[in-house]
Structure 1
């Protein structure tokens, strides 16, 4: 009980730190975010339908163990993603005994929701941004899978999938009220609302990687789990920044959706990232830092000789 309470306190502390970081970043960006945010009526209704489906998935996960839903197809998957994304230290136990069909649900539901959310955000901007965003998460998944080796990937799949659903819910909630007569453009004109929204979005991005590392700790240990998460973060950010540096900052940023990487809404356009004055050198520096982060994460994720020896002895 003490361990569970301690982990819960640590999780709340981590969330608080992520929100504080998000507030700081939001305050730095906020002076540039004066453009009103609006979408057309069709996009607004698509976002509402997706929001209802995403919330239903989370609610099923919260209630499945206490209702008759527990025996329904997909209920175990929803429960596993909910537990793993909010209590990542329980990710491994939440996926034990999950049937193959539910394992597919753990991959498909968050994946389809992520793609659908990105397409809804990017309506009118082309599919290039969607492909890039999805490619970034695929790179993250590939990096984590390779570093896991023969160990089960399902705990981290459940944790990351659940965290992505939570992030999509926040974005879809704003999109759902951003139509021609929506209230969100009005709320967006209030500085405190903008800062709060940006802080939550950026905090949830950080939480995705936190739960990824935390869910792997029982399998790999603290050092290696942190290394896997760090390598995944580096790989995710190295892809778009390196691509932009090669193509050219102006051309790449014009071709992508305004929410490059973690930037929500039309933040890229608001902050002048479509301006020809945007320095390509900044992208090169960011790509190099992301690559160094990936390398450092890989080094941390590799097992030490002593650890490998103990593993072989215990398995023999």
Structure 2
């Protein structure tokens, strides 16, 4: 069996295990947010326009992935942006090829590699919250900014584009899953009905959770070719810790109850009035100090990750940078 075949099998096995774990999370979440039948609550109405916005974004995201999947086999590979789409596809599905897929890319393709996933992530989250800038977008962007900044600082002079291709490609796939859920719900439907239908919500959470974790697995896999497995693992852990730390600080500063109530008002995960009748933290049995526990956990994970990412041995310190190394993102 070739190395490529072994890597493909390993990737499939890891992703299947993540889906199974995500299904368990989905079942737990369904039990945690289940609405007691005796509470006479008003169901949250979906904004019909958001379903159509989601469908438009879904078409664009699916087109980006489709171009990436077929670009190398067609004349599309010579078109502007096709190389970026191909790198996103390879980085998401075969992260060990992320470095080779970004070699020799034009500046336009490199910037598209970063801009397309970022713009799609923001647009998807905005559509979920009916274009209200609030708790969801703030926490999501803060977490991703923390992760990206730490990873960029740790890899130093080496090229950031392989890890951008891997993480960005997975972000696009995860946005597609969210957009499918928003689109299928349909105009005039009830957004909360999606979460009160266990089969649909469990399948969605399983796939979304698997892709969320896979983004970090792919990041580490892409970095391993540049800095080795140990340092790649440490870099990803440091990024995850920084993301958790930054998001938790925001939640702790605002207050867990206020932040979760705002999040629920934007997404309609619970029927209207639930947050005000019971309080989400009380209803979900979330301890008042949970946000500060998350701050401490994020700090510990960041420190552990940095220690693992340090080049302890001389050959780590003297290792040459990748051929397309750059000081900044502009190279």
TM-score by shorter chain over 0.5? yes
Deviation of the 1:203 alpha carbon:
1.0
Q: Say if 2:272 is the partner of 1:266.
A: no
Correspondences of 1:71-110 after superposition (within 5 Å): 71-110=78-117
Deviation of the 1:164 alpha carbon:
0.2
- 1:246-280 deviation per Cα after TM superposition (whole angstroms, max 9, x unaligned): 22222222334678xxxx87279989773457422
Write the distance in 1 (CA, Å) between the matches of 2:198 and 2:146: 35
Q: Say if 2:40 is the partner of 1:32.
A: no
Contact persistence 1:177–1:184 (CA under 8 A):
no
Structure 1: segments with no counterpart, 5+ residues? none
Deviation of the 1:101 alpha carbon:
0.6
Contact persistence 2:26–2:202 (CA under 8 A):
yes
- Identify the residue that residue 305 of structure 1 maps to in structure 2: 313
Contact persistence 2:158–2:226 (CA under 8 A):
yes
- Identify the residue that residue 12 of structure 2 maps to in structure 1: 12
- 1:112-142 deviation per Cα after TM superposition (whole angstroms, max 9, x unaligned): 1011011111126543431331121111110
- Identify the residue that residue 40 of structure 2 maps to in structure 1: none
Q: Which moved more, 1:286-295 or 1:92-101?
A: 286-295
Structure 2: segments with no counterpart, 5+ residues? 36-42, 321-331
Write the distance in 2 (CA, Å) between the matches of 1:13 and 1:257: 34
Deviation of the 1:67 alpha carbon:
1.3
Contact persistence 1:88–1:159 (CA under 8 A):
yes
Correspondences of 1:1-316 after superposition (within 5 Å): 2-34=2-34, 39-123=46-130, 125-182=132-189, 189-256=196-263, 266=269, 274-275=280-281, 278-308=286-316, 310-311=318-319
Cα distance, 1:113–1:265 mapped onto 2, change above 3 Å? farther
TM-score by length of 1: 0.89
Write the distance in 1 (CA, Å) between the matches of 2:249 and 2:209: 21
Write the distance in 2 (CA, Å) between the matches of 1:217 and 1:268: 45
TM-score by length of 2: 0.85
Task: Tell me the SS of whatever aligns to 1:97.
Answer: coil
Task: Tell me the SS of whatever aligns to 1:79.
Answer: helix
Q: Which moved more, 1:249-258 or 1:58-67?
A: 249-258
Write the distance in 2 (CA, Å) between the matches of 1:37 and 1:65: 45
Write the distance in 2 (CA, Å) between the matches of 1:286 and 1:258: 23
- 1:184-237 deviation per Cα after TM superposition (whole angstroms, max 9, x unaligned): 876654422221111111111101111111100010100000111111111112
Cα distance, 1:76–1:38 mapped onto 2, change above 3 Å? farther
Task: Tell me the SS of whatever aligns to 1:244.
Answer: helix
Length, aligned pairs only: 308
Q: Please provide the CA RMSD for this pair.
A: 2.6
